[in-house]
Amino acid sequence: LDYQHVQVPFEITLWIMLASLAKIGFHLYNKLPSVVPESCLLIFVGLIMGGIIYGLNDKSPPVMDSDIFFLYLLPPIVLDAGYFMPSRPFFENIGTILLYAVVGTIWNVFGIGCSLYGICQVKAFRLQDVSLLHNLLFGSLIAAVDPVAVLAVFEEIHVNEKLHILVFGESLLNDAVTVVLYKLFRSFCEMSTIKSVDIFVGVGKFFVVGLGGVLVGLTFGLTAAFTTRFTKDIRVIEPLFVFLYSYLSYLTAEMFHLSGIVAIIACAMGMKRYVEANISLKSHTTVKYFMKMWSSVSDTLIFIFLGVSTIGENHEWNWPYICFTVIFCLIWRALGVLVLTFFVNRFHVNTITSKDQFIIAYGGLRGAICFSLVFLLPDFHRKKLFIAATTVVILFTVFVQGMTIRPLVDLLAVKRERESAPTVGEQIHIRFLDHLLAGIEDISGHWGQYYWKDKLEYFNSKYLQKILLREYDQPKSSIVLLYEKLERKHAIELAEAGQLGHAPSHPSLLRSGFLCSNKRTAITDKKLEDTLNPDVLENIQEILARNLYRIRRTGPAYNRHTLPGEAEPVEHAEEILILRHKSL
Amino acid sequence: LDYQHVQVPFEITLWIMLASLAKIGFHLYNKLPSVVPESCLLIFVGLIMGGIIYGLNDKSPPVMDSDIFFLYLLPPIVLDAGYFMPSRPFFENIGTILLYAVVGTIWNVFGIGCSLYGICQVKAFRLQDVSLLHNLLFGSLIAAVDPVAVLAVFEEIHVNEKLHILVFGESLLNDAVTVVLYKLFRSFCEMSTIKSVDIFVGVGKFFVVGLGGVLVGLTFGLTAAFTTRFTKDIRVIEPLFVFLYSYLSYLTAEMFHLSGIVAIIACAMGMKRYVEANISLKSHTTVKYFMKMWSSVSDTLIFIFLGVSTIGENHEWNWPYICFTVIFCLIWRALGVLVLTFFVNRFHVNTITSKDQFIIAYGGLRGAICFSLVFLLPDFHRKKLFIAATTVVILFTVFVQGMTIRPLVDLLAVKRERESAPTVGEQIHIRFLDHLLAGIEDISGHWGQYYWKDKLEYFNSKYLQKILLREYDQPKSSIVLLYEKLERKHAIELAEAGQLGHAPSHPSLLRSGFLCSNKRTAITDKKLEDTLNPDVLENIQEILARNLYRIRRTGPAYNRHTLPGEAEPVEHAEEILILRHKSL
């Protein structure tokens, strides 16, 4: 037996296997995941594993290595989050998200830090040796809402899109603030005197860390898109580039002390559109599937390790400090959300309701990022107290808040995610209003989001697409594809209907023959909704979202004056043929 | 700048990136890959990289770590090879493959070892300090044909299936022999006296290492299949199990000093059938795609590292020894193939032609396995000579033989792979003959391969499928699916024809309507070949291969007495509906 030789990969594989099997186990009983969030179950498994290891070895089980967490476990989750980020609601609410992420986090850090310092002054608690700086340092790591924990819980409760993006976007973007404040206070702790210039440098760093991350991410993202232009002959390694460039953007940002999370999100959002157009359909399936798989495994491992690491003798149980930490985390977050939302609502027509505010405050879960940061603290005599407090805050938020948020959402009747995707008609109207508003903003000289979006779209189609897309000349993803899809769908239905014993009568066959060729008139919203499954509908919506503007310029997509079956099929087909030839 | 923090993942990512970009680069010029095999180009890139590193640092570039090679780079390639192994030709020629792999390799080891020992006795070469055991040890590592190198070259030259499987199968299965002989001679080198019992133990080990590998592999493979029974609710982690279990089988086998390569191949071949039936189509695409991607990257990295590691000062250039090594490798392989094939041909009707023999002998490429093994040698004063000889043999076989084998195949007019896949008719006849031969073997009491195949198939459908498949009761992959596919295909064609401006005339529409419902009669071989693309055809053949036997028992799949359009559509549709209801 030669265990040492294979130890590292063997143990990694076994941990992943354990995580995957635990996931399968939970889903065998359908009722369990609907009551308890998966993250809680996984932490529970971790606690048991940790207990077993502790019992067998009689020493603390290994804690999650912060390096492993930040270098290997976190990137897949953030990449997945960035790649599948719904970009429209994200950019529509970017102002609010940034306000929560930047101002809100700073508010929480100083609020929690200062009030904990107040607690430390109470003589009965015997905590007078914890300085203000140490409390602020602790505040900076405990204040940040954790994207992994938020994602795990919010994916299961299906609140409305805006609420979801507000909490989730905040948890992603506050990374820049957390990184800056954490490093700032840590270096302050090590300095003997703090000059006021250091504080100004710290403030300046916010922008460097955040914007630098965006820049690094976009650079790698666009390079990735450019690279996939040339993979036509070796489709098989296409998915690799998506992962390699995203990971490189994360590592590069980390290397320069920028925000890796912001970088990888910018990279994923920047490349997505172009990469998807360049790579083959099977590559795309692989990318999507593998990303989901990877992030799901990472996520599972993180929660299990969180449980395992909780067991042991790393903790100093000073209960007053720990309890006040939990209380202050809740209070300051609630206050912060209330105050910030007050200002946000003054400048927006579409306000955030008080129910939504409650869920935003209540959904501020802490997770593995805090946990890893607290272990990265420099050694000092109260580190074990901070570890204990962090552990309790994480377990409290994940277990108590995570398990009660679903009943609360039901109880408060918070507006849920809409069951069905918006119809094609709605999509068209939204697009139409976008262009209208862009025009209004242009005329009125107000450079709002619609104006910039329009300009960006113009820049994209004028320059970026020509550089980054392989088959730019050929409008592959045009509305013509939608027609083809509809036709094919219809034809398949025809075949399947025949197969099910209802041989179509001749007139209906004839009519469907006409329908096939009367592509341009046969499409109505009703029909679309009736006949298409959600997948196809989603694709169509994507195509529409991308191309409607261009199509609108080349010619009317919908003719009000012809009815289905009225026009001659041959004429119509020829018309489309000509249009297609032109576009080719 | 904090480079150390991210160094490991950053450098790994960069190497993979370099490998992938090199691959893209080669394919940008279409002519290059058709003349020079990719493996040569990659080694060349590696040589340049090594030269640059050597020039900049003025010390030898890092050699490929044997642990990294065996633990991380080799498994993906072997997994890919095992998973996509064409099982029919493999099992048909298993006897010949084993003869080449076991007897042939032993022949080569002792032939090369002993004749090199003879060379060492020549005083002019100043090699008298190299003992017979050391020569045999060297022979054991240089004799083995390398699967990675063989795959890289043979995938490009498209020789006939039998020839391909003989060379490739040998290169995979000789791993067990190589492992045993290498470890045996290495321990002999360290022993002071060798007892005859040690030699017998060594011979016994062949069986333990080989069969143990198969056992470990099958155990993990069937466990993987069993696990995927329960992944219905979390499709997203399905692909993971394929990779995890295969890798575990490899690591477990390595841990017990068994043949990891044999284990992972047995695992992949054992699980494939059941896993494919259990997992979703998208998961399957991901598995296939990711396997190809991973093995392709591993393969690229191996050749690049091979090039990089060649540069440096690890070599002792004793040219007589090196040249004779190359010559003996060629001679003994040629002799071995000739002698073994002589015996094989005496017992087979379908003989191996002399042209095929030449290609088998000439296709015995050496690669990264030899290279890693030679670096794993215990330190002794002639290790650098062995490294030099191994490097030259690898470069000679990959460059000279790899580059000339394609022209030689053309020149000798070696029978090529058939361009088109066998038609459905051929498939049906092959299946029919299989069952016929199984029956003949059963009656005549001769327990040949058909008899065992039939028994295995019976065991599989009686027990294994019930345990391992999720939806065994519902014959999902029945011939009914083929009909559905054909129908859908036809319907799509109809739609597409209409879209291209040729609105189908009414009679043709009517006829196609009939065709749709006359599923059972409308399928002819001709039609299939005409209308289906290779992918669909492949799927159909797979379905046929798997289900024809079962279907043949339940009822005639093809009715000789009805012609297309003759029977009433409704009646037929109803009949199918009843059949389907029954099967559900």
**Residue pLDDT, tens place only, A395-444:** 999 889 988 888 888 888 877 777 666 666 776 777 778 878 888 877 88
Give the whole-angstrom CA distance, residue B245 versus residue B241.
Answer: 6
- Residues 231-290 of chain B whose Cβ lies under 8 A from any Cβ of chain A: 231, 233-234, 236-237, 239-241, 244, 247-248, 251-252, 254-257, 282-283, 285-286, 289-290
> Most A CBs within 10 Å: which of B259, B515, B517, B580, as the mutation test of the A interface?
B517
A159 bridge partner residues = A416
Query: End-to-end distance of chain B based on CA atoms, in angstroms?
Result: 64
Q: CA-CA-CA-CA torsion for B141, B144, B147, B151, nearest 10 degrees?
A: 120
Which pTM value belongs to this model? Answer: 0.78
SS3 sequence, B17-50?
HHHHHHHHHHHHCCHHHHHCCHHHHHHHHHHHHH
Interchain proximity B255–A17, CB inside 8 Å: no
Number of Cβ within a 10 Å radius of residue A279: 22
Give the whole-angstrom CA distance, residue B272 versus residue B242.
Answer: 9
Residue of chain A whose alpha carbon sits nearest to that of B300: A237
A9 CB neighbours in chain B (<8 A) are: 71-72, 247, 251
Give the whole-angstrom CA distance, residue B509 versus residue A498.
Answer: 14
Least confident piece of the model among A163-177, B297-311, B522-536: B522-536
The pLDDT, as a whole number, for residue A250 is 94
| DSSP secondary structure string for all residues of A74-134 | HHHHHHHHHHT--HHHHHHTHHHHHIIIIIIHHHHHHHHHHHHHHHHT-GGGT-TTS-HHH
Give the whole-angstrom CA distance, residue A269 versus residue A218.
Answer: 8
- In order of A276, B490, B536, B541, B543, the CA distances from B528 in angstroms are 33, 11, 10, 11, 14
Mean pLDDT of A296-325: 86
For A159-216, the pLDDT digits (tens) are 888 888 999 899 888 888 888 888 888 888 877 777 778 778 878 888 888 899 999 9
Report helix, strand or coil for B555.
Answer: coil
Q: Per-residue pLDDT for A541 more than 70?
A: no
Mean pLDDT of B106-132: 88
Nearest to B27 among A2, A233, A499 (CB): A233
Distance from CA of A285 to the nearest CA of B (A): 7
Are B240 and B294 contacting, i.e. CB atoms less than 8 angstroms apart? Answer: no
pLDDT band, residue B246 (cuts 50/70/90): very high
A515 CB neighbours in chain B (<8 A) are: none
B234 CB neighbours in chain A (<8 A) are: 23-24, 27, 296
The pLDDT, as a whole number, for residue A571 is 47
Are B17 and A259 contacting, i.e. CB atoms less than 8 angstroms apart? Answer: no
Q: Per-residue pLDDT for A515 more than 50?
A: no
Are A235 and A279 contacting, i.e. CB atoms less than 8 angstroms apart? Answer: yes
Give the whole-angstrom CA distance, residue B350 versus residue B344.
Answer: 10
Residue corresponding to tokens 């000349």: A473
- Percent of chain A's residues with pLDDT above 70: 79
Q: Per-residue pLDDT for A355 more than 60?
A: yes
Are B468 and B225 contacting, i.e. CB atoms less than 8 angstroms apart? Answer: yes
> CB under 8 Å to B530, separation ≥6 — which residues?
none
Residue of chain B whose alpha carbon sits nearest to that of A11: B248
Residue A382 token pair? 């109260």
Q: Which residues of A476-485 are buried (b: 16+ CB within 10 A; e: fewer)?
A: ebbbbebbeb
- Residues 496-535 of chain A whose Cβ lies under 8 A from any Cβ of chain B: 496, 498-504, 506, 509-510, 513, 516-517, 519
> CB under 8 Å to B2, separation ≥6 — which residues?
A254, A255, A256, A257
The separation between CA A65 and the C-alpha centre of its own chain, rounded to angstroms, equals: 24
Quick check: A578 contacting B, CB < 8 Å? no
Nearest to A13 among B234, B247, B293 (CB): B247
Give the whole-angstrom CA distance, residue A525 versus residue B342.
Answer: 73
- In order of A6, A199, B448, the CA distances from B91 in angstroms are 31, 73, 12
Burial degree of B289 (CB within 10 A; 0-12, 13-18, 19+): buried
Give the whole-angstrom CA distance, residue B522 versus residue B544.
Answer: 17
The pLDDT, as a whole number, for residue A144 is 85
Distance from CA of B347 to the nearest CA of A (A): 41
Mean pLDDT of B425-439: 77
Interchain proximity B495–A506, CB inside 8 Å: no
Cα angle, residue B553 at apex, residues B551 and B554 outer, rounded to 5°: 65
Interchain proximity A501–B570, CB inside 8 Å: yes
Q: CB under 8 Å, gap of 24 or more: what pairs does B164-167 form?
A: B164/B417, B165/B86, B165/B89, B165/B90, B165/B93, B165/B97, B166/B93, B166/B96, B166/B97, B166/B100, B166/B352, B166/B356, B166/B360, B167/B359, B167/B360, B167/B363, B167/B364
Give the whole-angstrom CA distance, residue B485 versus residue B105.
Answer: 47
pLDDT band, residue A248 (cuts 50/70/90): very high
Interchain proximity B289–A509, CB inside 8 Å: no
Longest dimension (CA), chain B: 93
The pLDDT, as a whole number, for residue A497 is 61
Mean pLDDT of B173-184: 85
pLDDT band, residue A279 (cuts 50/70/90): confident
Residue corresponding to tokens 């003997």: A192
The pLDDT, as a whole number, for residue B533 is 58
Nearest to B24 among A6, A72, A234 (CB): A234
> Most B CBs within 10 Å: which of A7, A488, A511, as the mutation test of the B interface?
A488
Residue of chain B whose alpha carbon sits nearest to that of A283: B289
Q: Which of A484, A493, A328, A296 is nearest to B237 (CA)?
A: A296
Interchain proximity A286–B283, CB inside 8 Å: no
Quick check: B28 contacting A, CB < 8 Å? yes
Number of Cβ within a 10 Å radius of residue A449: 15
Least confident piece of the model among A305-309, A549-553, B225-229: A549-553
Q: Per-residue pLDDT for B514 more than 80?
A: no
Give the whole-angstrom CA distance, residue A352 versus residue A149.
Answer: 23
Number of Cβ within a 10 Å radius of residue B283: 25
Interchain proximity A237–B499, CB inside 8 Å: no
Quick check: B189 contacting A, CB < 8 Å? no
Give the whole-angstrom CA distance, residue B238 versus residue A16.
Answer: 13
The amino acid sitting at B506 is H
The pLDDT, as a whole number, for residue B543 is 59
Mean pLDDT of B192-209: 80
Quick check: A483 contacting B, CB < 8 Å? yes
Q: Per-residue pLDDT for B63 more than 80?
A: no
Quick check: B69 contacting A, CB < 8 Å? no
Cα angle, residue A385 at apex, residues A381 and A387 outer, rounded to 5°: 110
The pLDDT, as a whole number, for residue B41 is 87
A508 CB neighbours in chain B (<8 A) are: none
Mean pLDDT of B278-282: 83
Quick check: B376 contacting A, CB < 8 Å? no
The pLDDT, as a whole number, for residue A457 is 80
> CB under 8 Å to A260, separation ≥6 — which residues?
A70, A74, A75, A78, A175, A213, A250, A251, A253, A254
Give the whole-angstrom CA distance, residue B110 versus residue B294.
Answer: 36
Q: Which of A240, A224, A137, A239 is nearest to A182 (CA)?
A: A137
Q: Which H or E run contains A487?
A: helix A479-499
Interchain proximity A503–B573, CB inside 8 Å: yes
Q: A with B: how many residue pairs have Cβ under 8 Å apart?
A: 234
Q: ipTM of this predicted complex? A: 0.75
Q: What Rg, from alpha-carbon coordinates, does chain A have?
A: 27
Least confident piece of the model among A110-114, A308-312, A516-520, B237-241: A516-520
Residue of chain B whose alpha carbon sits nearest to that of A244: B13
Q: Which of B491, B147, B189 is nearest to A487 (CA)?
A: B491
The pLDDT, as a whole number, for residue A489 is 67
Residue A159 token pair? 């609140």
- Percent of chain A's residues with pLDDT above 90: 18
Interchain proximity B234–A24, CB inside 8 Å: yes
Are B259 and B179 contacting, i.e. CB atoms less than 8 angstroms apart? Answer: yes
Residue B365 token pair? 């490429």
Interchain proximity A517–B494, CB inside 8 Å: no
Q: Per-residue pLDDT for B395 more than 80?
A: yes
Q: Per-residue pLDDT for A522 more than 60?
A: no
The amino acid sitting at A428 is I
A283 CB neighbours in chain B (<8 A) are: 289
Q: Per-residue pLDDT for A32 more than 80?
A: no
Residue of chain A whose alpha carbon sits nearest to that of B502: A570
> CB under 8 Å to A158, separation ≥6 — which residues?
A416, A417
Residue A478 token pair? 């045009």
- In order of A24, A263, B184, B433, the CA distances from B95 in angstroms are 41, 56, 25, 21
Give the whole-angstrom CA distance, residue B22 versus residue B15.
Answer: 10
B10 CB neighbours in chain A (<8 A) are: 248, 251-252, 255
Q: Which H or E run contains A542?
A: helix A534-554
Are A392 and A177 contacting, i.e. CB atoms less than 8 angstroms apart? Answer: no
Distance from CA of B476 to the nearest CA of A (A): 17
Interchain proximity A516–B499, CB inside 8 Å: yes
Report helix, strand or coil for B128.
Answer: coil
pLDDT band, residue A563 (cuts 50/70/90): very low
For B80-118, the pLDDT digits (tens) are 888 988 888 888 888 899 999 989 999 999 999 999 999
- In order of A270, A544, B276, B455, the CA distances from B462 in angstroms are 53, 52, 19, 10
Give the whole-angstrom CA distance, residue A563 versus residue A548.
Answer: 22
Interchain proximity A9–B241, CB inside 8 Å: no
Q: Per-residue pLDDT for A125 more than 50?
A: yes
Interchain proximity A297–B237, CB inside 8 Å: yes
> Most B CBs within 10 Å: which of A3, A6, A487, as the mutation test of the B interface?
A6
Q: Per-residue pLDDT for B534 more than 70?
A: no
> Most B CBs within 10 Å: which of A234, A284, A510, as the mutation test of the B interface?
A234
What is the overall mean pLDDT for chain A? 78
Nearest to A491 among B227, B240, B491 (CB): B491
The amino acid sitting at A105 is T
The pLDDT, as a whole number, for residue B569 is 42
For B401-411, the pLDDT digits (tens) are 988 888 888 88
Quick check: B492 contacting A, CB < 8 Å? yes
Q: Which of B387, B342, B396 is nearest to B364 (CA)?
A: B396
The pLDDT, as a whole number, for residue B504 is 38
The pLDDT, as a whole number, for residue A566 is 37
Q: Per-residue pLDDT for B561 more than 70?
A: no
Give the whole-angstrom CA distance, residue A360 versus residue A345.
Answer: 14
A251 CB neighbours in chain B (<8 A) are: 6, 9-10, 13
Nearest to B293 among A239, A513, A577 (CB): A239
